[in-house]
Amino acid sequence: MVNTLSANKFDLNNFDQEHSCPNCEHQGLYIFYEVRNVPVHSCLMMLSKEKALDFPCGDVVLGFCPECGFITNVEFDAKWSAYAPNYESQQSYSPTFNKFAKFLANKWVEKYDLHNKDIVEIGCDKGDFLILLCELGNNRGVGIDPSVVPGRVKSEASDRVKFIQEYYSKKHAEYVGNFICCRHTLEHIQNTKEFVQTVRDSIGDLAEGEALRDRTEIAFCLEIPDNTRVMQQMAFEDIYYEHCSYFSPGTLARLFRSCGFEVTDLYKEYGEQYLIVEAKPIAASTSDKVHPFEESVAEVANDVKYFARNIQDKLQYWKDALTKMKEENQKVVVWGSGSKCVAFLTTLDTIDKIEYVVDINPNRHGKFIPGVGKKIMSPEFLKEYQPDKVIVMNEIYCDEIGKMLEDMGVSTELIAL
């Protein structure tokens, strides 16, 4: 794979009049970061190295909207959105992630009195979180996701959950229930306003009688990666083709308000990596209630400028570090074979400097990473391999990984991105 990258200075010379903002429809975006020729999917599991290396590639060209602060990949093409059962992004094999999922599920069950209620999850992946919500409150659930695998998650609540193996659209408006949630899906959707408006429209016209007026109590809770951290920490591993939409607290809240929701809560979780909005529908077409956690568009612009001016130094640091490890014949392994790994290796164009990638998810073992071609190994492989260094794609898992390595008798240096 031949990769080219550039980080542009954030100025008027990079103003692109051609593209409009999917969030607010403002015409014209500032282009500030480009990565060319990267895999259009990171989590579609390939059965052979040849198929993985022959995987389609596209370009990431990030544009910043000066009107609302939204960031989008202007080169994103939805034709590559081939989410299917072989799209493997399930994180529930991690005790660290499970602890957070249980915390969030319990929080929402108690906060919204989700007991014996009907719950809809849009973008439910393999169904772990929806089933957890149904277990905790004896609820009934509908999960909508083209990559769902009915029966994958075993639970006593399984007979109360219906899975629909489709993309969410207007035709699913009948599935509203008492609570709607959506986790790590909106960042994969280019037409962000259309999506949020579709959810709002499914709730209905709140002025049409008492039955519909009761729907003002329906909460819509959505979780996505926080782009403020990505910009401020120059987390290039979190920028990849599937993620075509990047939100800060303010840009997310402004989108929800423009679609007829009132933002009731806005906060970060999971080591400040995830951004969560909780909202309820209002009768008016837009809300003017600003949440205290929102930042201004000018503040987002400053983060973008910082990223654009400094990202090359961070990329060069990692290129030099990996080159040195290779020259010293160190055995270096990447822990985590998902999107962060693909972005890390392809953005740096250093696939040849990493021999092995390991992952805790057994459904990935023996498969090959799209665009990278590395075979995914189980953690047990490291008992024999005994690596000199393990690069962890997300530092929040370092304690968990360190304990696993210790239990396996693997003495190595953990390096977190």
Q: What is the CATH number of the domain that holds 279?
A: 3.40.50.150
The DSSP symbol for 51 reads: H
At 95, phi and psi to the nearest 5? -60, -35
> 332 and 271 in one domain?
no
Question: For residue 226, is it within any domain?
Answer: yes
For residue 208, the enclosing domain spans 95-300
Distance CA 102, CA 365 (A): 26
- pLDDT, residue 249, reads 98
Question: For residue 30, is it within any domain?
Answer: no
- pLDDT, residue 44, reads 86
Please give the C-alpha separations between residue 407 and each of 9, 382, 404, in angstroms, as whole numbers.
47, 11, 5
179, 119 in Cβ contact below 8 A? yes
DSSP string of 191-241, one letter each residue: -HHHHHHHHHHHH--TTS-HHHHGGGG-EEEEEEEBHHHHHHTT-GGG--T
Instruction: Reply yes or no on whether the pLDDT at 3 is more than 70.
Output: no
> 257 and 342 in one domain?
no
> 220 and 120 in one domain?
yes
How does residue 202 score in pLDDT terms, banded at 50, 70 and 90? Answer: very high
Q: How many domains does the chain have?
A: 2
Average pLDDT, the chain: 91
Question: For residue 103, is it within any domain?
Answer: yes
User: Which ranges in 70-127 belong to alpha helices (H)?
Assistant: 95-111
Distance CA 41, CA 100 (A): 26
Q: State pTM to two decimals.
A: 0.93
Q: Mean per-residue pLDDT for 174-194?
A: 95
Instruction: Reply yes or no on whether the pLDDT at 8 is more than 60.
Output: no
> 345 and 279 in one domain?
no
- pLDDT, residue 2, reads 37
> 270 and 133 in one domain?
yes
Which residue, chain included where needed, has tokens 């205290």?
A: 292
Q: Last residue of some domain: 282, 300, 318?
A: 300
Q: What share of the chain is helix, strand, coil (3-state, %, to 5)?
A: 35, 25, 40
244, 76 in Cβ contact below 8 A? yes
> 399 and 292 in one domain?
no
- pLDDT, residue 91, reads 84
> 256 and 336 in one domain?
no
Q: Quick one: 114 exposed, middle or buried, by C-beta within 10 A (0-12, 13-18, 19+)? A: buried
> 285 and 407 in one domain?
no
**Element at 342 (helix H, strand E):** helix 339-348
Task: Give the strands of the sheet with 413-416, arranged side by side.
Answer: 376-377, 356-358, 332-335, 389-392, 413-416
How does residue 11 score in pLDDT terms, banded at 50, 70 and 90? Answer: low
Which residue, chain included where needed, has tokens 């970061």?
A: 33
% of the chain beyond a pLDDT of 90? 80
Q: Determine the residue type at 16.
A: D
Q: Which residues pair with 29 in a beta bridge?
A: 16
Distance CA 137, CA 391 (A): 39
How does residue 85 score in pLDDT terms, banded at 50, 70 and 90? Answer: low
At 378, phi and psi to the nearest 5? -80, 155
> 271 and 215 in one domain?
yes
Q: What is the CATH number of the domain that holds 367?
A: 3.40.50.720
> 335 and 293 in one domain?
no
- pLDDT, residue 310, reads 96
- pLDDT, residue 287, reads 85
% of the chain beyond a pLDDT of 70? 94
> 352 and 281 in one domain?
no
DSSP string of 377-402, one letter each residue: EPTTHHHHH--SEEEES-GGGHHHHH
Distance CA 166, CA 148 (A): 9
> 233 and 126 in one domain?
yes
How does residue 187 score in pLDDT terms, banded at 50, 70 and 90? Answer: very high
What 3-state DSSP class applies to 189? coil
Reference 124, options 108, 156, 101; nearest CA is 101
Regarding beta strands 27-39 and 15-20, do their DSSP bridges make them parallel or antiparallel, or are they unpaired? antiparallel
Instruction: Reply yes or no on whether the pLDDT at 12 is more than 50.
Output: no
Q: Mean per-residue pLDDT for 21-31?
A: 95
Q: Mean per-residue pLDDT for 38-63?
A: 93
